[in-house]
Structure 1
Amino acid sequence: MPLSAPAPRTARHVRRVTYQGFEREDGLWDIEGELHDSKTYERPSLQAPGGVHPAGVPIHHMWLRVTVDRQLVVQAIESAMDAHPLGGCTAAQRALQAMVGSSMARGWRQAIQTHLGGVAGCTHLRELLFNLATAAFQSVQGAFQSTGDEPPRHLGQCTGWDFAGEGVRLHYPQFYQGAVVAADS
Structure 2
Amino acid sequence: MNTHLYRNIPAGQEDLIARLTERYAGQRIRFHTGFVGSVPVQASGRIGRLFFYFRFRGDTASLTLGSADHRSAASRAKHARRKALRKLRRGVAVDWFGGFMLQQDLRRDTALDRHPSRAVWYAVRNDVTGERYAGDLEPEEAAELFIDMMSTLQPAGPEPRWHKLAKLGRGPWTPPMPDHRVVIRKARQ
Fold similarity call, TM over 0.5: no
Higher fraction of helix: 2
Higher fraction of strand: 1
What is the TM-score when the length of structure 1 is the normalising length? Answer: 0.21
Q: Which has the higher contact order (CA 8 A, sep 6+)?
A: 2
Q: Which has the higher Rg, Structure 1 or Structure 2?
A: 2
